[in-house]
Structure formats: structure tokens, C-alpha cells
Amino acid sequence: MNIALLGHGVVGRGVDEIIASRVNDVHVTRILELPDRLSDPRMTASFDDILNDESIELVIECMGGLEPAHTFIMAALGAGKAVVTSNKAVVAAYFQEFAAQAQKTGAALLIEASCGGGIPWIASIEKVRRIDSVSAFSGIMNGTTNYLVDTMRKTGKDFDVVLAEAQALGYAERDPSDDIDGVDVKNKTIIAASVAFNVACRYDIPVAGIRNLTKADMQMFASKGRVVKLIGHGVQRDGHYAAAVEPVALPQSSLEAHVPANFNMVTLEGSTVGILKFYGQGAGSLPTGNAMVQDVLDFKAGRRPVYDFSANLVYDPMLLVSNYVFRTAIAPEGSERYAEGSWLVRSVTASHAREIYAYALESDPTSFYARLPWED
């Protein structure tokens, strides 16, 4: 089988290397690259060279970003070529459009690498859904922020110090906003909700990150037996669904509290299988490349995921209600004292908590908040 790579950066080279060294009968015959980077005879700067090459059955998109990735994926699916992508931003933004295009032409769309890196997360959700309905999912879906909070916890250093170290080591981007503000987790949460609940998940779910998390916050929560992690989660019940991304102060007895370094851990709940958790490298060229090559091999073995989003679920914020803690200068309305300078607000939705947080940021731009799940 002949395939093409769109992009030959860190992930693209990982895919190229894995296929060349470990997979028979799959050949990377064309690679799309920028005009000034054509260092390999397979490379071209023209996407049409790939689109019009009928020997190419499958296109691996690992360019990232919305455009031209969106246009290229639509064109490839339109031409009946299978598409494998690790691009969570473009899938979260255009999942419905891609899925409709794939259904129209019968081309396959495979997105394992867009969520959870090397963890077989999307394929596992789809497998569980063959038998069970998935009632909920949640997890640590971003390695950079887990590295930051885990290092803060273990070293007692403050956020900025650990972030600067992570940037020096290449664990965090020069502009870390997408990671620390929860944008990356938002994209993954939207994709996971769409696959798990068979719904075109709305794009404007409540999202908060960990930019304002301090050493003092970590210590305050530690004194309560809790560890802060950035969590994406979703739930469906009785024709309704909801999803959110927010810092969560987990009990130290939970497995997630102990996920180290840049690892991810995701959980789903099925009717007969019960709770399943998956743990692994959420990023990195080889784990992500591995996930893309698994999609290629699944396609070769006949797997054709169907995303028709036909479950007519209604978004309902009331499905996500919990207690929240706000560390902010002025006590939010209706709150009670949780710790010095921190306030507990009971039984509010994730959406309402995000609104309280936005309001708190206006008077105190250093404010932080976290959901407080029940002790298990």
C-alpha cells in the first residue's frame, strides 16, 4: 500500500521511521513539505502531486494547525483517499464536516493520534461502543501540564520556575498558552465526547487551565490531601450530554494523582465493561507516530470507523455539578471559607464555576480555582 505524508516535522519523521523499519507492505511514496525543505526525492511542495496520484490510498496529515490542513483533509477525503491525522485542533474544529465528507465518498477517517498520543484511546472507545454505551469519560490528556504540576508537587518549586525548566528541556513550547490554558485538552475533550457519545460536541464548552496555579495553591490542597491536575471530562445521560476542561483537586488516593511526568491517563465508563483506564505517553514523535501507524494498519485490516453523530443529544450543563474552590482576593457570593484566602462554592455547574472564575479574575487577575470531587 502506498501512502503520503503531509508534513515531515518531528511526528512525520517518527511515522516515516516506524514504517520504514517495522512495517512491511506499506510505503511512504510522497511527502508534502515546504518548497525550501525538499531534501528527499519523495518530497514535493505541491499537494496536487499527492491528490492526483492514484497509487496513493492513504494520506497521513501531521502538519498541525487549521489551514491548510483542513483544506487538504477535505480534498483527500473527497478524492476517496483515507486520512490519518494527529491534528487535534483541526479535528475538533471540523469533525462534523470531515465525517460528512468521509461518509459521502466512503473514505476512512482515522484520528487515534489526535487524542492521547500512543494510548489506544479512540480505538478503545469505539471498541467499547460496539457493545456498551459510554456514560462518562475523563482524564489527564496533556503531558506538558501534567509534567508541570507533577514537578511542582515533587520539587516544591513555583509554576514559573518549572515552566522555564520545561521550556529549556523541550517539554513545553516557547508559547505554552495552548497547553497551560487548556486549549489542547479542550480539543481532545471535544473529540473524545464526539466519539464516545456519538454527538457533534459543541465547541464552546467551559475551559480553564492552570496558568495561575502557584506553589502555595499546591501546598494548600496538599494539606487537604489533594493534588491538582488538569482534567478534561464528559458525561451523557437520558439524551443529554456535557463536557468541560478544568483544574481538579483530586484525592491523593486516586490513581490520577500519581500519574508522573508527562504521562496521560484516561478513563471511560461502559455499561457492562465498567470502568476502564488507559495510561501512556500522550505525546512524543514515536508514541504519536506509533498511533498513526496503528491507524494505517487498522485501515489495512479493514477497520472503517463511522462517525455519523446521530445521537440527538442536547447539551445540558446540569450534568456536571460539583463543589469548587476559588483562591481569590474577594470571596465569591454564597461561598464559605475553605482555607486561608480560599473559598468553597457548593453544587454549581462547571459552566457556572467558569463564570464565577471569570468574574474573580476581574478583581484579582492571579485567581485560581479547581473542582473538588468527592473523596472516593
Q: Rounded to an integer, what distance in angstroms lies between the CA atom of residue 48 and that of residue 71?
A: 12
Q: How many CB atoms lie within 10 A of CB 126?
A: 17
Select 8 or 70, whichever has its Cβ closest to a second copy.
8
124 binds a second copy (CB under 8 A): yes
Question: Which sign does the torsion angle of CA 228, 321, 93, 111 carry?
Answer: positive
| Phi/psi-derived region of residue 344, left when phi > 0, alpha when psi is between -120 and 50, beta in every other case | beta
Q: What is the closest distance, in whole angstroms, from the C-beta atom of residue 19 to a second copy in the complex?
A: 9
Select 168 or 301, whichever has its Cβ closest to a second copy.
301
Q: What value, to the nearest 5°, has the Cα angle with vertex 340 and ends 338 and 342?
A: 50
Among 114, 187, 212, 290, binds a second copy (CB under 8 A): 290
Q: What is the closest distance, in whole angstroms, from the C-beta atom of residue 366 to a second copy in the complex?
A: 31
* Of 347, 351, 353, 308, nearest in space to 204 by CA: 351
315 binds a second copy (CB under 8 A): no
* Of 54, 57, 53, 4, nearest in space to 33 by CA: 4
255 binds a second copy (CB under 8 A): yes
Select 76 or 196, whichever has its Cβ closest to a second copy.
196
Radius of gyration, alpha carbons of the chain: 21
141 binds a second copy (CB under 8 A): no
Q: What is the closest distance, in whole angstroms, from the C-beta atom of residue 302 to a second copy in the complex?
A: 6
188 catalytic residue (yes or no): yes
* Of 67, 66, 35, 64, nearest in space to 49 by CA: 35
Residue among 88, 186, 188, 229 flagged as catalytic: 188
Residues within window 7-36 making contact with a second copy, judged by CB under 8 A: 14, 18, 22-23
Among 28, 119, 125, 163, binds a second copy (CB under 8 A): 119
Q: Rounded to an integer, what distance in angstroms lies between the CA atom of residue 48 and that of residue 114?
A: 25
270 binds a second copy (CB under 8 A): yes
Instruction: Report whether the peptide linkage leading into residue 68 is cis, meaning its omega lies within 30 degrees of zero.
Output: yes
143 binds a second copy (CB under 8 A): no
Residue numbers at the binding site for a second copy (CB under 8 A): 14, 18, 22-23, 118-120, 124, 127, 130-132, 253-255, 257-260, 263, 265, 270, 272-281, 284, 286-287, 289-291, 293-294, 297, 301-303, 376
Active site residues: 188
